[in-house]
Each structure stands twice: as structure tokens, then as C-alpha cells.
Amino acid sequence: FGSSFGQVLETASHAMISRRLCRRTSTAVLTLLDSAETLPWGTRVAEHRLNPPLLSEFEKHLDELFGSTSDTNIVPRALVVHSEGRFWCNGMDLRYIDQQVNAGRADIADDLQRQAERVMGRILTLGVPTLASMPGHCCAAGAMLSLAFDFRVQAGGVKSLFFIPAVELGLRYSPGMLALLSAKLGPAGQRDLMLLGRRFNACTLETELGAGRNAEAVIAAASDEAVKMAAPD
């Protein structure tokens, strides 16, 4: 990516993603961390926007868990990506892109798009079940990232949003993202999410978009099943 990209990687002073492995279930859990830190170009780390520091850290974890640098004795059998704070992912880092374009480095901004799609491609082809565990908002390219996972669960009820505002911002979908959206959504979902920019929430993500589950409903169903199993005949 060149020297400018290399300099960007040094701007996050603390880790943006934590990792743990549940050995009982062989599940890797990556957590996008909440933080009061602001990156040099003005983006709050807590928004978990897709920028070079976050994506590079994400790729590093994938390499160490599933790639050639992983310990083959503890390769996870599933991946969960969770988040702290209000946002699971608030989309592409538009402040970073604007900074690069204004500095005459539009090619660096293009590199970010390619890196984001590379991460999505790795999630799609990981070879183990993947789950996006979304306790907060999931917007724009963040929503697209979540669609690369096999399963999505969103908490927060009507207060947690899931939408892609590209049509409002006058942005174009790349061929890769169009292919992802077409593969994961039915015709009505593609229309509502891509063309109308409709805002869904944790309650309507499953019932109206068919793209995920409402965490509260999942927990309630699991609890009901647990009660049935525990009840005497």
C-alpha cells in the first residue's frame, strides 16, 4: 500500500480489537472495543469505522486464528465478532477518505475499498460458521460487512439501526458489494436496503428484511426451550 498507508497504521495507540478463544466450544470471539480515543483525522474509535488500522488488525487476527501463522492444534471451529458500545460498525471511515482525497492521495482511498472487500471475502470463505453479534448500530459498509457472515444477531430493539444510506449520499456500489448484497438478500430486501435506503432495526431485521435475528427473540426462545428441557415429564 505504500509509505502513506504504513504511516496510517501507526496512528491507533491502543488495540481496537480484542480476541479470546472459548476452548470448550473451539469458538474464536473478536470484540470491537469501545474507546474514547479519536484518530488523527477526527474519527472516533468507538464507531468501529472501516479504516486501515481497524481492518489491518482484523486481518492480523484472522491470519493468527485461521491463516498460515495459526497454531493448527487450536484452529477455531467458529468465529463470532462482537462489539462494545453503541456501534457494531458505522461504515467506511469517510473522514479518512476525505483526508486522503484532499491530500491528492485518492489511490490510498481506493486501497481502503479493496482492503474492506478483501476482509469481507475472507469472512465469506473462512470455512467455519461465522456470526456477527451486533449489540448496536450496523450501518453502510458495516451492514455489508455483517452480510458477509453466515448469521447476524442484533440487540437493542428499535433503537439499534441496520441500513445502507448510499442512495442518500450519492455513492456507488462496487461490483463486489453488489454481488454480496444480491447473494444475501431477496429482491424486496435489495430494493428496500439498496435503492430506498430504508432503516431497519433489531426487531425488523428478521421479520421484514430476512437478514438476521432479533437477539431478544433468540434469547427468549432459548430460555423457553431450556424451561421445557428442565421441566419434569
Q: How confident is the model at residue 5 (pLDDT cuts 50, 70, 90)?
A: very low
Confidence at residue 225, expressed as pLDDT on a 0 to 100 scale? 58
Q: What value does the mean pLDDT take over residues 113-132?
A: 96
Instruction: Please state, for a pLDDT cut of 70, what percent of the chain lies above it.
Output: 86
Distance of CA 147 to the CA centre of its chain: 8
Q: How confident is the model at residue 215 (pLDDT cuts 50, 70, 90)?
A: confident
pLDDT tens sequence across 77-88: 999 999 999 999
- Sign of the dihedral through C-alpha 118, 124, 126, 132: positive
Strands of 161-163's sheet in order across: 87-89, 137-139, 161-163, 200-201
Confidence at residue 152, expressed as pLDDT on a 0 to 100 scale? 94
CB-based contacts of 16, cutoff 8 Å, min separation 6: 32, 33, 35, 45, 48, 53, 54, 57
DSSP symbols for 123-142: HHTSSS-EEEEESSEEETHH
Nearest to 213 by CA among 164, 162, 152, 150: 152
